[in-house]
Amino acid sequence: MKTLLLVLLSALVPSSLYAQGAAPDTLVKTVTLEVVELIAKDRDIKSGNRAKLISLIDEKVLPHFNFEAMTQLAMGQSWRKAAPEQKKRLVSEFKTLLVRTYASALSAYSDQKFDFRPLRAKPSDTDVTVQVRVLQQGAQAVPIDYSMEKTTAGWKVYDVMVGGVSLVANYRTEFNNVVRDSGIDGLIKSLDSKNRSLEAAKK
Amino acid sequence: MKGLLILAWFSLAGCATTGEGDPRDPLEGLNRGVYKFNEKVDDFVARPVAEVYDDFVPREVRDRVRNFFGNLADPFIGVNNLLQGKATEAFDDWSRFLLNTTFGLLGIHDVATDLGLEKHNEDFGQTFGRWGAGTGPYLVLPIFGSSNLRDGVGLAADMVTDPLGEVSPNRARNALVASRAVQTRADLLGAGRILEQAALDKYVFQRDAYLQRRRSLVYDGRPPREKFE
Protein backbone atom coordinates (compact mmCIF):
# COMPACT_ATOMS: atom_id res chain seq x y z
CA MET A 1 0.00 0.00 0.00
CA LYS A 2 2.79 2.33 0.97
CA THR A 3 4.65 1.59 -2.27
CA LEU A 4 1.56 2.32 -4.30
CA LEU A 5 1.24 5.66 -2.60
CA LEU A 6 4.87 6.41 -3.32
CA VAL A 7 4.45 5.50 -6.97
CA LEU A 8 1.42 7.76 -7.22
CA LEU A 9 3.24 10.56 -5.51
CA SER A 10 6.34 10.25 -7.66
CA ALA A 11 4.18 10.50 -10.74
CA LEU A 12 3.07 13.92 -9.55
CA VAL A 13 6.59 15.21 -8.97
CA PRO A 14 7.73 17.48 -11.79
CA SER A 15 10.50 16.04 -13.92
CA SER A 16 13.18 18.53 -12.87
CA LEU A 17 12.74 17.54 -9.28
CA TYR A 18 12.73 13.94 -10.30
CA ALA A 19 16.31 14.25 -11.58
CA GLN A 20 17.38 15.09 -8.04
CA GLY A 21 16.02 11.86 -6.74
CA ALA A 22 17.36 9.79 -9.63
CA ALA A 23 19.39 6.70 -8.86
CA PRO A 24 23.13 7.42 -9.04
CA ASP A 25 23.79 5.12 -12.00
CA THR A 26 20.90 6.60 -13.95
CA LEU A 27 22.19 10.06 -13.17
CA VAL A 28 25.69 9.29 -14.45
CA LYS A 29 24.33 7.71 -17.61
CA THR A 30 21.89 10.50 -18.39
CA VAL A 31 24.39 13.28 -17.80
CA THR A 32 27.22 11.57 -19.69
CA LEU A 33 25.13 10.78 -22.73
CA GLU A 34 23.57 14.23 -22.76
CA VAL A 35 26.94 16.00 -22.57
CA VAL A 36 28.58 13.75 -25.16
CA GLU A 37 25.66 14.31 -27.53
CA LEU A 38 25.75 18.07 -27.03
CA ILE A 39 29.48 18.08 -27.77
CA ALA A 40 29.02 15.95 -30.87
CA LYS A 41 26.37 18.33 -32.19
CA ASP A 42 28.16 21.55 -31.40
CA ARG A 43 30.38 22.77 -34.22
CA ASP A 44 32.10 25.43 -32.09
CA ILE A 45 33.16 22.92 -29.45
CA LYS A 46 34.25 20.40 -32.08
CA SER A 47 36.50 23.01 -33.63
CA GLY A 48 38.13 23.73 -30.28
CA ASN A 49 36.09 26.42 -28.55
CA ARG A 50 37.22 25.82 -24.98
CA ALA A 51 35.14 28.53 -23.36
CA LYS A 52 31.95 27.07 -24.75
CA LEU A 53 32.88 23.56 -23.65
CA ILE A 54 33.64 24.80 -20.16
CA SER A 55 30.34 26.62 -19.89
CA LEU A 56 28.57 23.46 -21.02
CA ILE A 57 30.31 21.51 -18.27
CA ASP A 58 29.53 24.27 -15.78
CA GLU A 59 25.87 23.97 -16.55
CA LYS A 60 25.40 20.23 -16.97
CA VAL A 61 28.08 18.48 -14.95
CA LEU A 62 29.10 20.72 -12.06
CA PRO A 63 25.86 20.56 -10.13
CA HIS A 64 26.50 16.86 -9.59
CA PHE A 65 29.94 17.26 -8.02
CA ASN A 66 30.74 18.02 -4.40
CA PHE A 67 33.86 20.14 -4.77
CA GLU A 68 34.20 20.85 -1.09
CA ALA A 69 34.43 17.13 -0.33
CA MET A 70 36.92 16.68 -3.19
CA THR A 71 39.14 19.50 -1.95
CA GLN A 72 38.97 18.20 1.59
CA LEU A 73 39.97 14.68 0.53
CA ALA A 74 42.79 15.97 -1.68
CA MET A 75 44.14 18.13 1.15
CA GLY A 76 44.12 15.32 3.68
CA GLN A 77 45.35 16.50 7.06
CA SER A 78 46.23 19.97 5.79
CA TRP A 79 42.51 20.75 5.41
CA ARG A 80 42.13 21.26 9.13
CA LYS A 81 44.95 23.78 9.16
CA ALA A 82 43.14 26.06 6.72
CA ALA A 83 41.05 29.01 7.89
CA PRO A 84 37.46 29.26 6.60
CA GLU A 85 38.42 32.00 4.12
CA GLN A 86 41.33 29.91 2.84
CA LYS A 87 39.06 26.89 2.49
CA LYS A 88 36.72 28.88 0.31
CA ARG A 89 39.58 29.97 -1.95
CA LEU A 90 40.99 26.44 -2.15
CA VAL A 91 37.65 24.94 -3.17
CA SER A 92 37.10 27.55 -5.85
CA GLU A 93 40.61 27.29 -7.33
CA PHE A 94 40.57 23.50 -7.28
CA LYS A 95 37.16 23.52 -8.90
CA THR A 96 38.41 25.69 -11.76
CA LEU A 97 41.36 23.37 -12.29
CA LEU A 98 39.22 20.23 -12.22
CA VAL A 99 36.72 21.65 -14.68
CA ARG A 100 39.51 22.45 -17.14
CA THR A 101 40.98 18.98 -16.72
CA TYR A 102 37.58 17.41 -17.17
CA ALA A 103 37.07 19.46 -20.33
CA SER A 104 40.26 18.15 -21.90
CA ALA A 105 39.43 14.60 -20.84
CA LEU A 106 36.02 14.90 -22.45
CA SER A 107 37.35 16.27 -25.72
CA ALA A 108 39.92 13.47 -25.81
CA TYR A 109 37.43 10.67 -25.21
CA SER A 110 34.04 11.94 -26.33
CA ASP A 111 33.96 9.92 -29.53
CA GLN A 112 34.44 6.61 -27.72
CA LYS A 113 31.73 4.14 -26.82
CA PHE A 114 30.57 3.84 -23.23
CA ASP A 115 29.42 0.82 -21.33
CA PHE A 116 27.33 1.72 -18.28
CA ARG A 117 27.56 -1.02 -15.68
CA PRO A 118 24.57 -1.90 -13.55
CA LEU A 119 24.85 -0.53 -10.01
CA ARG A 120 25.71 -3.04 -7.34
CA ALA A 121 24.35 -1.46 -4.20
CA LYS A 122 21.53 -1.79 -1.76
CA PRO A 123 18.74 0.80 -1.93
CA SER A 124 19.68 1.89 1.57
CA ASP A 125 23.32 2.64 0.64
CA THR A 126 24.38 6.28 0.83
CA ASP A 127 27.88 5.84 -0.61
CA VAL A 128 28.19 4.02 -3.92
CA THR A 129 30.53 3.54 -6.85
CA VAL A 130 29.04 3.96 -10.31
CA GLN A 131 31.06 2.16 -12.96
CA VAL A 132 31.36 3.20 -16.57
CA ARG A 133 33.76 1.69 -19.07
CA VAL A 134 35.19 3.43 -22.09
CA LEU A 135 35.55 0.88 -24.88
CA GLN A 136 38.42 1.13 -27.33
CA GLN A 137 39.59 -0.95 -30.26
CA GLY A 138 42.44 -3.36 -29.56
CA ALA A 139 42.99 -2.37 -25.95
CA GLN A 140 41.49 -3.17 -22.60
CA ALA A 141 38.47 -1.01 -21.77
CA VAL A 142 39.23 1.90 -19.43
CA PRO A 143 37.11 1.81 -16.28
CA ILE A 144 35.82 5.10 -14.89
CA ASP A 145 34.48 4.84 -11.37
CA TYR A 146 32.47 7.65 -9.84
CA SER A 147 32.40 7.65 -6.05
CA MET A 148 29.09 9.18 -5.09
CA GLU A 149 27.48 10.16 -1.86
CA LYS A 150 23.83 10.74 -1.16
CA THR A 151 23.10 14.24 0.08
CA THR A 152 19.91 16.17 0.69
CA ALA A 153 20.40 17.73 -2.74
CA GLY A 154 20.71 14.38 -4.51
CA TRP A 155 23.69 12.19 -5.34
CA LYS A 156 27.01 13.99 -5.60
CA VAL A 157 30.34 12.81 -7.01
CA TYR A 158 33.27 13.19 -4.62
CA ASP A 159 35.95 11.28 -6.53
CA VAL A 160 36.56 9.98 -10.01
CA MET A 161 38.83 7.03 -10.66
CA VAL A 162 40.12 6.60 -14.18
CA GLY A 163 41.84 3.30 -14.91
CA GLY A 164 42.33 2.76 -11.19
CA VAL A 165 43.78 6.23 -10.62
CA SER A 166 41.86 8.27 -8.09
CA LEU A 167 41.89 11.91 -9.09
CA VAL A 168 41.56 13.09 -5.53
CA ALA A 169 44.29 10.80 -4.18
CA ASN A 170 46.57 11.83 -7.02
CA TYR A 171 46.46 15.46 -5.95
CA ARG A 172 47.22 14.60 -2.37
CA THR A 173 51.02 14.32 -2.64
CA GLU A 174 51.22 17.45 -4.76
CA PHE A 175 49.10 19.44 -2.33
CA ASN A 176 51.01 18.17 0.69
CA ASN A 177 54.34 19.02 -0.91
CA VAL A 178 53.28 22.59 -1.62
CA VAL A 179 51.73 23.04 1.82
CA ARG A 180 54.89 21.69 3.46
CA ASP A 181 57.11 24.06 1.49
CA SER A 182 55.02 27.21 1.41
CA GLY A 183 51.92 26.78 3.55
CA ILE A 184 48.21 26.93 2.73
CA ASP A 185 48.58 30.34 1.12
CA GLY A 186 51.35 28.94 -1.03
CA LEU A 187 48.98 26.26 -2.29
CA ILE A 188 46.27 28.80 -3.04
CA LYS A 189 48.83 30.86 -4.92
CA SER A 190 50.15 27.97 -6.92
CA LEU A 191 46.64 26.78 -7.88
CA ASP A 192 45.77 30.32 -8.85
CA SER A 193 48.83 30.76 -11.05
CA LYS A 194 48.25 27.35 -12.65
CA ASN A 195 44.69 28.41 -13.51
CA ARG A 196 45.89 31.76 -14.83
CA SER A 197 48.48 30.14 -17.07
CA LEU A 198 45.86 27.77 -18.48
CA GLU A 199 43.57 30.73 -19.06
CA ALA A 200 46.35 32.58 -20.87
CA ALA A 201 47.35 29.55 -22.97
CA LYS A 202 43.79 29.24 -24.22
CA LYS A 203 43.83 32.58 -26.02
CA MET B 1 79.19 -2.86 -19.17
CA LYS B 2 75.60 -3.04 -18.05
CA GLY B 3 76.73 -3.60 -14.46
CA LEU B 4 78.87 -0.49 -14.67
CA LEU B 5 75.91 1.55 -15.89
CA ILE B 6 73.74 0.38 -13.03
CA LEU B 7 76.55 1.14 -10.58
CA ALA B 8 76.90 4.64 -12.02
CA TRP B 9 73.13 5.06 -11.74
CA PHE B 10 73.07 4.22 -8.06
CA SER B 11 76.10 6.31 -7.15
CA LEU B 12 74.53 9.26 -8.96
CA ALA B 13 71.31 8.58 -7.11
CA GLY B 14 73.21 8.69 -3.84
CA CYS B 15 74.28 12.28 -4.45
CA ALA B 16 70.94 13.28 -5.79
CA THR B 17 68.66 12.23 -2.95
CA THR B 18 67.56 14.91 -0.54
CA GLY B 19 66.31 14.70 3.01
CA GLU B 20 62.58 15.23 2.83
CA GLY B 21 61.77 12.87 0.00
CA ASP B 22 58.84 10.60 -0.61
CA PRO B 23 59.58 7.16 0.88
CA ARG B 24 58.29 5.49 -2.28
CA ASP B 25 60.76 7.45 -4.39
CA PRO B 26 64.19 7.44 -2.71
CA LEU B 27 65.91 8.08 -6.06
CA GLU B 28 63.84 11.17 -6.82
CA GLY B 29 66.84 13.33 -7.70
CA LEU B 30 68.11 10.92 -10.32
CA ASN B 31 64.60 10.11 -11.52
CA ARG B 32 63.88 13.77 -12.13
CA GLY B 33 67.03 13.97 -14.22
CA VAL B 34 65.96 11.05 -16.39
CA TYR B 35 62.45 12.49 -16.53
CA LYS B 36 63.83 15.72 -17.94
CA PHE B 37 65.84 13.80 -20.51
CA ASN B 38 62.76 11.79 -21.52
CA GLU B 39 60.74 14.98 -21.88
CA LYS B 40 63.32 16.36 -24.30
CA VAL B 41 63.23 13.17 -26.37
CA ASP B 42 59.46 13.36 -26.31
CA ASP B 43 59.35 17.04 -27.29
CA PHE B 44 61.71 16.65 -30.20
CA VAL B 45 61.03 13.15 -31.51
CA ALA B 46 58.33 10.95 -30.03
CA ARG B 47 55.42 13.37 -29.70
CA PRO B 48 55.88 15.16 -33.03
CA VAL B 49 55.99 11.83 -34.86
CA ALA B 50 52.94 10.58 -32.93
CA GLU B 51 51.07 13.79 -33.76
CA VAL B 52 51.77 13.46 -37.45
CA TYR B 53 50.59 9.85 -37.31
CA ASP B 54 47.47 10.89 -35.42
CA ASP B 55 46.69 13.76 -37.82
CA PHE B 56 47.34 12.07 -41.13
CA VAL B 57 46.48 8.42 -40.64
CA PRO B 58 42.71 7.88 -40.60
CA ARG B 59 41.23 6.56 -37.40
CA GLU B 60 40.05 3.39 -39.09
CA VAL B 61 43.62 2.52 -40.04
CA ARG B 62 44.96 3.40 -36.60
CA ASP B 63 42.40 1.03 -35.08
CA ARG B 64 43.62 -1.78 -37.37
CA VAL B 65 47.24 -1.12 -36.40
CA ARG B 66 46.38 -1.12 -32.69
CA ASN B 67 44.45 -4.36 -33.10
CA PHE B 68 47.33 -5.98 -34.96
CA PHE B 69 49.89 -5.28 -32.24
CA GLY B 70 47.36 -5.98 -29.51
CA ASN B 71 46.75 -9.41 -31.00
CA LEU B 72 50.44 -10.26 -31.01
CA ALA B 73 50.52 -9.48 -27.30
CA ASP B 74 47.61 -11.75 -26.38
CA PRO B 75 49.50 -15.11 -26.16
CA PHE B 76 51.83 -13.78 -23.47
CA ILE B 77 49.01 -11.99 -21.72
CA GLY B 78 47.56 -15.50 -21.51
CA VAL B 79 50.84 -16.90 -20.15
CA ASN B 80 50.84 -14.21 -17.47
CA ASN B 81 47.24 -14.94 -16.57
CA LEU B 82 48.13 -18.61 -16.23
CA LEU B 83 51.15 -17.77 -14.06
CA GLN B 84 48.76 -15.78 -11.86
CA GLY B 85 46.48 -18.80 -11.55
CA LYS B 86 43.74 -17.42 -13.78
CA ALA B 87 43.24 -20.33 -16.16
CA THR B 88 39.90 -19.13 -17.52
CA GLU B 89 41.32 -15.76 -18.46
CA ALA B 90 44.37 -17.41 -20.00
CA PHE B 91 42.13 -19.63 -22.09
CA ASP B 92 40.19 -16.54 -23.21
CA ASP B 93 43.43 -14.81 -24.26
CA TRP B 94 44.56 -17.75 -26.35
CA SER B 95 41.10 -18.12 -27.88
CA ARG B 96 41.24 -14.44 -28.72
CA PHE B 97 44.57 -14.95 -30.46
CA LEU B 98 43.28 -17.90 -32.50
CA LEU B 99 40.05 -16.18 -33.50
CA ASN B 100 41.61 -12.82 -34.30
CA THR B 101 44.56 -14.26 -36.18
CA THR B 102 42.28 -16.30 -38.43
CA PHE B 103 38.86 -14.66 -38.75
CA GLY B 104 40.29 -11.29 -37.79
CA LEU B 105 42.78 -11.41 -40.67
CA LEU B 106 46.08 -11.57 -38.77
CA GLY B 107 44.60 -9.62 -35.93
CA ILE B 108 43.61 -6.40 -37.67
CA HIS B 109 39.99 -7.03 -36.69
CA ASP B 110 39.11 -7.76 -33.09
CA VAL B 111 36.32 -10.27 -33.72
CA ALA B 112 36.90 -11.91 -30.34
CA THR B 113 35.71 -8.86 -28.41
CA ASP B 114 32.52 -8.86 -30.46
CA LEU B 115 32.06 -12.49 -29.44
CA GLY B 116 32.33 -11.53 -25.79
CA LEU B 117 35.98 -12.43 -25.16
CA GLU B 118 37.36 -9.34 -23.49
CA LYS B 119 40.89 -8.12 -23.91
CA HIS B 120 43.01 -8.22 -20.77
CA ASN B 121 45.99 -6.20 -19.60
CA GLU B 122 48.75 -8.34 -18.09
CA ASP B 123 52.53 -8.32 -18.04
CA PHE B 124 55.35 -9.82 -15.99
CA GLY B 125 55.47 -6.87 -13.60
CA GLN B 126 51.84 -7.57 -12.67
CA THR B 127 52.57 -11.28 -12.32
CA PHE B 128 55.41 -10.59 -9.89
CA GLY B 129 53.09 -8.25 -8.00
CA ARG B 130 50.45 -10.96 -7.85
CA TRP B 131 53.05 -13.33 -6.45
CA GLY B 132 53.62 -10.89 -3.64
CA ALA B 133 56.67 -8.94 -4.81
CA GLY B 134 56.77 -5.39 -3.48
CA THR B 135 57.22 -2.58 -5.97
CA GLY B 136 60.67 -1.53 -4.76
CA PRO B 137 61.71 2.07 -5.38
CA TYR B 138 60.05 4.08 -8.11
CA LEU B 139 62.24 4.42 -11.20
CA VAL B 140 62.09 6.58 -14.29
CA LEU B 141 63.73 4.55 -17.05
CA PRO B 142 65.32 6.27 -20.02
CA ILE B 143 62.80 6.29 -22.93
CA PHE B 144 60.43 3.82 -21.22
CA GLY B 145 59.51 6.28 -18.50
CA SER B 146 57.68 5.50 -15.25
CA SER B 147 58.52 2.18 -13.65
CA ASN B 148 59.74 0.67 -10.42
CA LEU B 149 62.19 -2.05 -9.54
CA ARG B 150 59.60 -4.81 -9.85
CA ASP B 151 58.09 -3.53 -13.09
CA GLY B 152 61.53 -2.83 -14.52
CA VAL B 153 62.49 -6.49 -14.09
CA GLY B 154 59.06 -7.36 -15.49
CA LEU B 155 59.71 -5.16 -18.50
CA ALA B 156 62.94 -7.03 -19.19
CA ALA B 157 60.99 -10.31 -19.16
CA ASP B 158 58.32 -8.76 -21.43
CA MET B 159 61.03 -7.78 -23.88
CA VAL B 160 62.62 -11.23 -23.89
CA THR B 161 59.23 -12.77 -24.69
CA ASP B 162 58.20 -10.08 -27.18
CA PRO B 163 57.05 -11.88 -30.37
CA LEU B 164 58.49 -9.06 -32.48
CA GLY B 165 61.92 -10.16 -31.25
CA GLU B 166 61.56 -13.25 -33.44
CA VAL B 167 61.03 -11.30 -36.64
CA SER B 168 63.84 -11.39 -39.17
CA PRO B 169 65.43 -9.71 -41.03
CA ASN B 170 66.36 -7.09 -38.46
CA ARG B 171 65.11 -4.29 -40.68
CA ALA B 172 61.62 -5.68 -40.67
CA ARG B 173 61.76 -6.18 -36.92
CA ASN B 174 62.95 -2.63 -36.30
CA ALA B 175 60.22 -1.22 -38.53
CA LEU B 176 57.58 -3.15 -36.60
CA VAL B 177 58.96 -2.13 -33.21
CA ALA B 178 59.06 1.50 -34.34
CA SER B 179 55.48 1.40 -35.66
CA ARG B 180 54.28 -0.08 -32.43
CA ALA B 181 56.07 2.64 -30.47
CA VAL B 182 54.45 5.37 -32.59
CA GLN B 183 51.06 3.76 -32.16
CA THR B 184 51.53 3.55 -28.40
CA ARG B 185 52.68 7.16 -28.11
CA ALA B 186 49.80 8.36 -30.29
CA ASP B 187 47.34 6.65 -27.97
CA LEU B 188 48.82 8.59 -25.08
CA LEU B 189 48.46 12.04 -26.70
CA GLY B 190 45.15 12.67 -24.96
CA ALA B 191 46.53 11.59 -21.60
CA GLY B 192 49.56 13.83 -22.12
CA ARG B 193 47.37 16.86 -22.69
CA ILE B 194 45.39 16.06 -19.56
CA LEU B 195 48.61 15.76 -17.57
CA GLU B 196 49.73 19.18 -18.83
CA GLN B 197 46.42 20.65 -17.70
CA ALA B 198 45.98 18.90 -14.41
CA ALA B 199 49.36 18.79 -12.74
CA LEU B 200 51.00 21.39 -10.55
CA ASP B 201 54.18 19.30 -10.69
CA LYS B 202 54.07 16.94 -13.67
CA TYR B 203 56.71 14.64 -12.26
CA VAL B 204 54.81 14.06 -9.02
CA PHE B 205 51.44 13.77 -10.72
CA GLN B 206 52.70 11.22 -13.22
CA ARG B 207 54.54 9.23 -10.58
CA ASP B 208 51.52 8.97 -8.31
CA ALA B 209 49.25 8.11 -11.21
CA TYR B 210 51.66 5.38 -12.31
CA LEU B 211 51.85 3.86 -8.84
CA GLN B 212 48.07 3.92 -8.43
CA ARG B 213 47.52 2.51 -11.90
CA ARG B 214 49.94 -0.38 -11.46
CA ARG B 215 48.48 -1.24 -8.10
CA SER B 216 45.04 -1.35 -9.65
CA LEU B 217 46.28 -3.54 -12.52
CA VAL B 218 47.95 -6.04 -10.20
CA TYR B 219 44.57 -6.54 -8.55
CA ASP B 220 42.73 -6.49 -11.90
CA GLY B 221 40.92 -3.28 -11.10
CA ARG B 222 39.78 -4.31 -7.62
CA PRO B 223 42.56 -3.37 -5.22
CA PRO B 224 41.85 -3.55 -1.50
CA ARG B 225 40.68 -0.13 -0.44
CA GLU B 226 43.38 2.20 0.79
CA LYS B 227 42.49 4.24 3.79
CA PHE B 228 41.99 7.95 3.33
CA GLU B 229 43.33 9.24 6.59
Per-residue pLDDT tens over the stretch B92-113: 999 999 999 999 999 999 999 9
**CB-CB: which of B119, B194, B213 is closest to A108?**
B194
Going by pLDDT thresholds of 50, 70 and 90, the confidence category of residue B133 is: very high
Q: Which chain A residues are closer than 8 Å to B119 by Cβ?
A: 138-141
Are B38 and B145 in contact by the 8 Å Cβ rule? The answer is yes
Is residue B18's pLDDT more than 60?
no
Distance CA A157, CA A68 (A): 11
Instruction: With H, G, I as helix, E, B as strand and everything else as coil, classify residue B200.
Output: coil
Is residue A5's pLDDT more than 80?
no
Is residue B139's pLDDT more than 80?
yes
- Report residue A37 CA to chain centroid gap: 18
Predicted local distance difference test score (pLDDT) of residue A3: 58
Measured between CA atoms, the residue of chain B closest to residue A141 is B119
Find the helix or strand (DSSP H, E) in which A155 lies: strand A154-162
For residue B173, count other CB atoms closer than 10 A to its CB.
15
Predicted local distance difference test score (pLDDT) of residue B85: 96
Answer whether 0.95 is exceeded by the pTM. Answer: no
Tell me the per-residue pLDDT of A12-63, one tens digit each, with 9 for 90 and over: 444 444 455 688 988 999 888 888 888 888 888 877 788 888 888 888 888 9
* CB pair distance less than 8 Å for B70 and A104: no
* Nearest CA-CA distance, residue A146 and chain B, Å: 14
Predicted local distance difference test score (pLDDT) of residue A47: 79
Is residue B15's pLDDT more than 50?
no
Distance CA B27, CA B139 (A): 7
**CB-CB: which of B190, B208, B229 is closest to A109?**
B190
* CB pair distance less than 8 Å for A164 and B215: yes
- How many inter-chain contacts (A to B, CB under 8 Å) are there? 87
* CB pair distance less than 8 Å for B194 and A138: no
Residues contacting A159, CB < 8 A, separation 6+: A70, A73, A146, A147, A166, A167, A168, A169
Is residue B17's pLDDT more than 50?
no
Measured between CA atoms, the residue of chain B closest to residue A187 is B200
Predicted local distance difference test score (pLDDT) of residue A140: 85
Going by pLDDT thresholds of 50, 70 and 90, the confidence category of residue B149 is: very high
Distance CA A200, CA B124 (A): 44
What is the pLDDT averaged over residues B44-65? Answer: 94
Which residue type occupies A53? Answer: L
* CB pair distance less than 8 Å for A190 and B200: yes
More confident residue, B8 or A182: A182
Angle at A162 between CA A159 and CA A168, to 5 degrees: 35
Torsion sign (Cα): B177, B178, B180, B185 = positive
Torsion sign (Cα): B64, B167, B73, B54 = negative
Predicted local distance difference test score (pLDDT) of residue B79: 97
Measured between CA atoms, the residue of chain A closest to residue B222 is A164
Can the peptide bond before residue A14 be classed as cis, meaning omega within 30 degrees of 0? Answer: no
Predicted local distance difference test score (pLDDT) of residue A17: 44
* CB pair distance less than 8 Å for A140 and B119: yes
* Nearest CA-CA distance, residue B168 and chain A, Å: 25
Distance CA A35, CA A56 (A): 8
Measured between CA atoms, the residue of chain A closest to residue B114 is A137
Find the Cα–Cα–Cα–Cα dihedral B213, A163, B75, B92, rounded to 10°: 130
Angle at A157 between CA A153 and CA A160, to 5 degrees: 175
Predicted local distance difference test score (pLDDT) of residue A18: 47
- With a cut of 0.85, is the ipTM above it? no
Are B18 and B29 in contact by the 8 Å Cβ rule? The answer is yes
Give a three-class secondary structure readout of B136-162: CCEEEECCCEEEEHHHHHHHHHHHHCC
* Nearest CA-CA distance, residue B203 and chain A, Å: 10
* CB pair distance less than 8 Å for B22 and A173: yes
* Nearest CA-CA distance, residue A12 and chain B, Å: 41
Separation of first and last alpha carbons in chain B: 46
* Alpha helix stretches (DSSP H) within chain A: 2-12, 15-20, 24-41, 43-46, 50-60, 67-75, 84-109, 167-202
Is residue B5's pLDDT more than 70?
no
Interface residues from chain B to A (CB-CB < 8 Å): 20, 22, 63, 66-71, 110, 118-121, 187, 189-191, 193-194, 197-201, 204-205, 208-209, 212-213, 215-217, 221, 223, 226, 228-229
**CB-CB: which of A138, A164, A190 is closest to B110?**
A138
